[in-house]
Amino acid sequence: MIDLLLSIIFSVLLLINFRLHPRFGVNTFQTIILNYPVCIITGLLFLPENQHFSIDLSETSTQLAMLLGVGFVITFMLSGISTQRIGMAMTSLANNMSLVVPVIFSLVVLKMSGSFDTLNYLGLVLAIVAVALSTFKKSESDSSNKKENIDWLLPIAVFVMYGITNTTFNYLNAKYVTASGTTIPFTLTILVGSVLIGGIVLGIRIIQGKEKLVFKSLLAAIPLGIPNFLSFYYLLKALDAYQNNGAFVLPIYNIGVIVGSALVAFIFFQEKFTLLNKIGLILAVMSIGLISYQGLF
């Protein structure tokens, strides 16, 4: 249970990082790009002695994994922007409710209905309603600020992109990670893809004069990159501790991150929730329970 708790804490810390960036004048774009090398270093430090990490570009799995790394960068960027403009509570909810996307993919595309029943389907519907309600933001009377009026789309984009990347990761993990306990090396391969695309984009922007590397960004990448990897690492350990029972571990993890982020946002950042936002948070917890109640009970 301690591994599960740690994975929740480190996941919440990620959003706290984003929330604090504007306060300390940190360039979030640069910090996100620079956090991936920190992730890789952290991953190598936690790599078990009986495993090794290497890159074979001729392997299809390596090419697909590195391509997925591009999606990781885009998704993390959206999460950072959404946290700063909409708030960490709503972004966390959109992020964690994205579990609906791989479930729908399994049902619709892979035709894996399994033991899905009426309550599970009700949970899927409630999840979508929860995201819609929790991200609703009343328009300001001054409609001239169009930027603010479309900010509510950010959590929706986070929901979709996290769903796509998680679905792709699960698919590639199931198809190409055949040896037990080799998920971390596979994840490191994805992170190498993130480093390459991030480095290219950052380099181009610096050459064009659109970016100037700031030392603050390098420093901020450390407290972002370490929990970024550890949140995933301890979630894997929690899954291993419960015999890979994702139906039990993942709902608790997602509910924990949603509730934890909402509490931190309310207590430390004074984020305000409308009545619809509160209803959305409650529905989110209910929907996760309905989707995964067989595993929980």
The proportion of the chain whose per-residue pLDDT surpasses 90, expressed as a percent, equals 46
| DSSP per residue, 5-56 | HHHHHHHHHHHHHHHHTTTTT--HHHHHHHHHHHHHHHHHHHS-TT------
Task: Considering only residues 52 and 149, tell me which one the structure prediction assigns the higher pLDDT.
Answer: 52
pLDDT the model gives residue 183: 77
- Confidence band (pLDDT; 50, 70, 90) for 61? confident
**Six-digit token string for 29:** 């774009």
pLDDT the model gives residue 13: 96
Query: What is the spatial distance between Cα 123 and Cα 177, in angstroms, rounded to a whole number?
Result: 30
pLDDT the model gives residue 273: 87
pLDDT digits (tens, 9 = 90+) for 219-271: 999 999 999 999 999 998 888 887 766 667 888 888 899 999 999 999 999 88
Q: Round the CA-based radius of gyration of the chain to a whole number and report it.
A: 19
- pLDDT of 209 over the 60 cut: yes
- pLDDT of 18 over the 70 cut: yes
Region of poorest pLDDT, from 67-71, 124-128, 174-178: 174-178
pLDDT digits (tens, 9 = 90+) for 92-151: 998 888 888 877 777 777 666 566 788 888 988 898 888 888 777 654 444 445 555 677
pLDDT the model gives residue 198: 93
pLDDT the model gives residue 180: 56
Measured N-to-C along each axis, helices 60-85 and 183-207 cross at an angle, to the nearest 10 degrees, of: 60
Report yes or no on whether pTM surpasses 0.95. no
| DSSP per residue, 163-189 | HHHHHHHHHHHHHH--STT-HHHHHHH
**Terminal-to-terminal C-alpha distance of the chain:** 17
Cβ–Cβ < 8 Å for 254, 288? yes
Mean pLDDT for the chain? 86
- pLDDT of 51 over the 60 cut: yes
